[in-house]
Amino acid sequence: MKITDAKVFVGGPAKNYVTLKIFTDQGVYGLGDATLNNRETLPAQYLQDYLIPSLIGMDPRNSEDIWQFFYRGAYFRRGPIAMAAFGAIDMALWDIKGKMAGMPVYQLLGGKSREGAMVYAHATGADLEDLMDSVAAYIEDGYKAVRVQCGIPGMPTASYAVPEEKGDSKNYMTNFSGIRPKVEVWDSDRYIRYMPDALAEIRDRFGPELHILHDVHHRLLPREAAEFAKAVEPIRLFWLEDPTPAEDQDALRLIRQHSTTPIAIGEVFNSIWECNKLIENELIDYIRVAATYGGGITHLKRIVDLAALHHVKTGFHGAPSHSPISMAAQAHLNAWAPNFGIQEYLVLGTPECNALFPSEHRMENGMVFVSEAPGLGVDFDENEAAQYSYQPGSHPVVRLQDGTLWNY
């Protein structure tokens, strides 16, 4: 069996999805997602210029060897651009493997450990009351877990994942007004004084059963993060995400020494080498690496297996930046993983997205049920794709009030 061709598409409804389609001499094709939010053209170009020419002629069934070929062959290892490109190839090869076997990918991983996988949604509000409305709407829709973010009184601008206007909770993430980032202004002290009480009010309003998650988005120093994690302990969060940037991995020790609040980290990691020490030292509770820029199913499974040895559960990144293809890859891992925790989930559901990526993965009552179709169980409609093209966009940058550049 041979790979005969591969094509890359960039674009999508309100997103620049990077979709790889690998063709074979047996009529079977595979799909992969290389979307690297706000840097989308780079993995696309990497695939086109460096990887696809070598891929043609290879046997697609040898997904492990092909992964090693590109990873080791690059010499300059890792990095989100390369790992997103390798990840897309890897997903497409698992898709082909499943289609050839006539089995959904989760069967090739070891079968199902559960029927439905719990997901969490993003509730957000310009202020706390606005956020409460957003949480209530998700509970009404059947969600058992929500991530909560709200505007902080006196904060000079809206913060991470918070809308500027009340009632605009669906419109806070993608800024397609050009490549130059907009600037947010941040004040950690104001946040630390306000947010623990706000989280306590959310717990009081919605009761003990709701799983409440909160994302600090790398904004606190290690000591501040320890103070915050300790202050929110009585709220019994499901997790506190990215409390401090994890480049300094030892910093996580300080948080652990001061608090039992569960910690989730890893959405910016792209290999096992960024999280193996955090996992082995049991400094985190959930690992957030995504199938996309985490090198696909082959590499992410390695991380999940290591995590399982150390009581660390999965909580894969699933921001709207990932296409339904990598969400499908994660759905198969979620169905199998003995140490599944939760899945962030926002992608599927819009009619435009469903038309571009038809699939039978289904979301019901805050759970995702994996498709039984052979392979990844998601398709890509090239006719639909023809109406989309790359739209320049950017993440905001963050400054402190005196102008110092901070972490987005």
How many helices and strands (H and E) does the chain possess? 14, 16
If binding is defined by CB under 5 A, does position 215 make contact with Mg ion?
yes
If binding is defined by CB under 6 A, does position 33 make contact with ligand KDG?
no
Q: Which residues contact 227 (CB under 8 A, 6 or more apart)?
A: 192, 258
Residue with tokens 């058992």: 144
Are 237 and 286 spatial neighbours (Cβ–Cβ below 8 Å)? no
Contact partner, 14, from ligand KDG, Mg ion, none, Cβ < 5-8 Å per class: none
- DSSP-assigned letters across all residues of 23-37: EETTS-EEEEE---T
If binding is defined by CB under 6 A, does position 301 make contact with ligand KDG?
no
If binding is defined by CB under 6 A, does position 218 make contact with ligand KDG?
no
If binding is defined by CB under 5 A, does position 130 make contact with Mg ion?
no
Q: Which residues contact 401 (CB under 8 A, 6 or more apart)?
A: 156, 185, 187
Task: Write down the least CB distance from residue 346 to Mg ion, Å.
Answer: 12
Task: Write down the least CB distance from residue 24 to ligand KDG, Å.
Answer: 32
Residue with tokens 């509000």: 125
* Catalytic, out of 122, 214, 217, 317: 217
Phi and psi (nearest 5°) for 343?
-130, 130
Number of residues engaging ligand KDG in binding (CB under 6 A)? 9
Contact partner, 214, from Mg ion, ligand KDG, none, Cβ < 5-8 Å per class: none
Residue 100 or 268: the one with the smaller Cβ distance to Mg ion is: 268
Residue ranges in 378-397 that form contacts with ligand KDG under rule CB under 6 A: 395
Q: DSSP 3-state assignment of 54?
A: helix
- Closest residue to Mg ion, Cβ-based? 215
Phi and psi (nearest 5°) for 21?
-125, 120
Task: Write down the least CB distance from residue 341 to Mg ion, Å.
Answer: 14
Q: Which of 40, 187, 267, 379 binds ligand KDG (CB under 6 A)?
A: 267
If binding is defined by CB under 6 A, does position 40 make contact with ligand KDG?
no
217 is catalytic: yes
CA dist 220 and 93 (Å) reads 40
Which helix H or strand E contains 96, and what residues bound it?
helix 80-101
If binding is defined by CB under 6 A, does position 217 make contact with ligand KDG?
yes
* Catalytic, out of 46, 138, 160, 286: 160
Separation of CA 393 from chain center: 18
Phi and psi (nearest 5°) for 365?
50, 45
If binding is defined by CB under 6 A, does position 95 make contact with ligand KDG?
no
Tell whether the torsion through CA atoms of 400, 403, 407 and 408 is positive or negative: positive
Task: Write down the least CB distance from residue 96 to ligand KDG, Å.
Answer: 28
Task: Write down the least CB distance from residue 351 to Mg ion, Å.
Answer: 27
**Helices 324-336/80-101 angle, 10° precision:** 70
Choose one: 78-86, 129-137, 254-262, 316-324; the region binding ligand KDG (CB under 6 A): 316-324
List residues near ligand KDG by CB under 6 A: 37, 215, 217, 267, 317, 319, 321, 344, 395
* Interacting residue ranges for Mg ion, rule: CB under 5 A: 215, 267
User: Which residues are the active-site residues?
Assistant: 160, 217
